[in-house]
Chain A
Amino acid sequence: MTTHETTDAAPCARTVRRPGRLRRHLVTIAGLCTLAYLVLPNVIVLVFSFNKPNGRFNYQWQRFSTDAWTDPCGVADLCGSLGLSLRIAVWATLGATALGTMIAFALARYRFRARSTVNTLIFLPMAMPEVVMAASLATLFLNMGIQFGFWTILIAHIMFCLSFVVTAVKARVMSMDPRLEQAAQDLYATPVQTFLRVTLPIAAPGIAAGALLSFALSFDDFIITNFNAGSTVTFPMFVWGSAQRGTPVQINVIGTAMFLIAVVCVVVGQLAGARRKRS
């Protein structure tokens, strides 16, 4: 009898004991390592924006300097390409957000026959390697005899941003209670007023997310732009070229500045949102 009890108690005691500190935090540690892996290049970009390299390439640390920060446009064509990229990103965001929001509303709010075909057409660009889309669109432009440049880049960017906007807005509109729109109509709002006063404000976070994503995707796109730009040089194409010719420190400055601006924007947005929720 007593022997039975001891053999029964032993495994019990083992399961009751808390796992070690390290084991309990294993997931956290692994997650933080991944986070470090993700952030490390940004740290390098930041640090090397203060470098003063000896040769044309900014891959090895030489000595500290703020030259690049005081003169970010000191390299020929750099700021021109940056301006072009920003301009394209703004227009692509506007275009893709407008077209994508319309599609998202049609998909989320109406039943119609071509629904599944439309869904597939929206999904495909996201499931297609960029290089395939890039090459085929460029083939089309080439054969139509269309001059490559600002407009071909813009057309391509709206094309691949569209699907992401649709996805973001659709999710938001689908989760919206249709009774809110009915309530507005019940309270004397015409269809146009209902859309402007109720639907649009409530769908706004989804539209904003889609627009933000579009901006980031467009601003950062290289592959599709590279095929459809002709001799026009956007900022990513400038960086690509500089990887061959020599990397100026200024591209690190701009990369870091974009990163910091994004972080500040997000943090300010978060704080504003939190304050509104509290009040």
Chain B
Amino acid sequence: MTKTASPQSGSGGDVRLRRISKTYGSFTAVHPLDLTVPAGSFFALLGASGCGKTTTLRMIAGLEDPSTGTVELSGEDVTALPPYKRHVNTVFQNYALFPHLDIFENVAFGLRRRGIKSVKKQVEEMLDLVQLGPMARRRPQQLSGGQQQRVAVARALINHPQVLLLDEPLGALDLKLRRQMQLELKRIQTEVGITFVHVTHDQEEAMTMADTVAVMNGGRVEQLGAPADLYENPATTFVANFLGTSNLIEAEVTGVDGDDLLLRAADRALRVPARRCPHAARTGDKLLAGVRPEKMALAHPDDAVPEAHNRLSGRIKDAAFIGVSTQYLLDVPGVGELAVYEQNIARDGRLVPGADVVAHWNGAHTFGLDAAQDISAGADVDEEAA
């Protein structure tokens, strides 16, 4: 069988999506989208169920025909090619291992379809790579979830695809195994150098593994960047709430002081670096001031707080001890509820539910968001329903 590009071991291809979209009747699963995945990178599409991330992945694989736009692999337009002529392979959700074939034949499937006669050595090597050598003659049903997952990866990788697509590959595993497989996949990716496109609803998984994360919502990419950039500088309320937890405070711009914007929220003055705000923010504009809970600290009203810090006073509503930290829920009049995570270094016995406290943080840790958005977007997304 002729392939579009000669498979080369150890080299990934880049993926270029141009104005690609997918509509089902009147429903738009993916809005016209431009995206480039650089060769050799580990790219994650992150989003809640129904955000269009799996549809995007399936369009790259050729399992879904895009309604508009083109897919390019290594600079070649493959939009019209059926899946079996594209040099990409997929690790399916729930693995889709062939139940009527044993592990060996599952892994050899792709090689045999490409007309390769002597597959024994390759398959055995691949099974050894995923540590399943002794399982070769078992059937998929006889393997544990983690083993099935490794077979699915081996079955795809043995073809040395330009791009490996992973559709929620760890969704069916329990937490501990998932952590282990995350590291395992990352190791394999570094070793083989193939481009990985990974679809997941688990933000922690995306951030652990990927070089670049695209956060999708409602068929659109909300923001794209390195995990740390997304976390520190979310561009939308959805990203701020979906990636970790954010405290978002409605505020009004009152002026400029050097590199900082001055804000007012619940009769309190706050500072936020102007470069971390939407460009056009001017005096009198509404703005959402955001800060991550772990960047905040709590102080008793009697204690000193660093002068330059932003501060808000409130009352502790709830405190949950979770080992490394204690998570406080504060009720701040005029602002609402705030979450504050305190490292358990020296626990202050006065910080108990009902106590009045001052929450404070370095103004440089604040980010500003356009106030015209839904403040709770992405906050209550059901993570398991992917």
Give me the interface of A with B, judged by CB distance under 8 Å.
177, 179-180, 182-191, 193-194, 197-198, 201-202, 204
Contacts and interface: CB of A to CB of B under 8 A. Distances in A.
Chain B residues touching A, range: 20 to 34
B255 interface: no
A103 B62 CA distance: 27
B1 interface: yes
B349 to A, nearest CB: 50
Looking at chain A's contact residues, the main secondary structure is helix
B83 A182 contact: yes
Given A182-B63, A186-B61, A201 B100 contact: yes
22 contacts: A179-B96, A180-B96, A182-B83, A182-B96, A183-B90, A185-B63, A185-B82, A185-B84, A186-B62, A186-B83, A186-B90, A186-B156, A187-B113, A188-B84, A188-B85, A188-B159, A189-B84, A197-B109, A198-B98, A201-B100, A202-B98, A204-B100
B99 interface: yes
Given A182-B63, A182-B83, A193-B113, A187 B159 contact: yes
B1 A188 contact: yes
B73 to A, nearest CB: 14
Contact of A188 (B94, B99, B100, B114): B114
A197 B85 CA distance: 17
A184 B155 CA distance: 11
B225 interface: no
B162 interface: no
Contacts of B98: 180, 183-184, 198, 202
B113 A177 contact: no
A77 to B, nearest CB: 45
Contacts of B273: none
A187 to B, nearest CB: 4
B89 interface: yes
B114 to A, nearest CB: 5
A183 B1 contact: no
B362 interface: no
Given A179-B93, A179-B94, A183-B90, A188 B110 contact: yes
Nearest to B152: A183
B149 to A, nearest CB: 14
Contacts of A188: 1, 84-85, 110, 113-114, 159
B112 to A, nearest CB: 9
Nearest to A278: B142
Task: Count chain A CB atoms within 10 A of each CB in B62, B82, B84, B90 and give the residue with the most.
Answer: B84
Nearest to A198: B98
Contact of A187 (B82, B94, B99, B155): B155
A187 B96 contact: no
B89 to A, nearest CB: 6
Nearest to A194: B84
Task: Count chain B CB atoms within 10 A of each CB in A185, A186, A202, A204 and give the residue with the most.
Answer: A186
Nearest to A188: B113
A194 B84 CA distance: 10
Nearest to A189: B113
A187 B101 CA distance: 14
Contacts of A201: 100
Nearest to A176: B99
Nearest to A202: B100
Interface string B150-194: 000001100100000000000000000000000000000000000
Interface string B51-82: 00000000001110000000000000000001
Task: Count chain A CB atoms within 10 A of each CB in B61, B113, B156 and give the residue with the most.
Answer: B113
Interface in B181-234: none
Given A186-B90, A187-B159, A177 B110 contact: no
Nearest to B114: A188
A187 B110 contact: yes
Contacts of B93: 179
Given A193-B113, A202-B99, A186 B84 contact: yes
B113 to A, nearest CB: 4
Which 4 pairs between the two chains have the least Cβ-Cβ distance?
A187-B110, A179-B96, A188-B113, A183-B96
B197 to A, nearest CB: 13
Given A182-B96, A188-B113, A189-B113, 8 more contacts: A182-B61, A185-B62, A186-B62, A186-B88, A186-B92, A188-B1, A188-B110, A188-B159
A259 B75 CA distance: 66
A204 B100 CA distance: 10
B332 to A, nearest CB: 48
Interface string B94-117: 101111100000000110011000
A183 B155 CA distance: 10
A177 B96 contact: yes
B57 to A, nearest CB: 11
Contacts of A184: 98, 109
Contacts of B110: 187-188
Contacts of B159: 187-188
A61 to B, nearest CB: 51
A204 B109 CA distance: 19
A187 B83 CA distance: 8
Contacts of B89: 186-187
Contacts of A179: 92-94, 96
Given A188-B1, A188-B110, A189-B84, A182 B92 contact: yes
Interface string B373-384: 000000000000
Contacts of B61: 182, 186
A195 to B, nearest CB: 12
B50 to A, nearest CB: 18
A197 B84 CA distance: 14
B278 to A, nearest CB: 42
A193 B96 CA distance: 17
Nearest to A181: B96
Interface string B35-62: 0000000000000000000000000011
A279 to B, nearest CB: 8
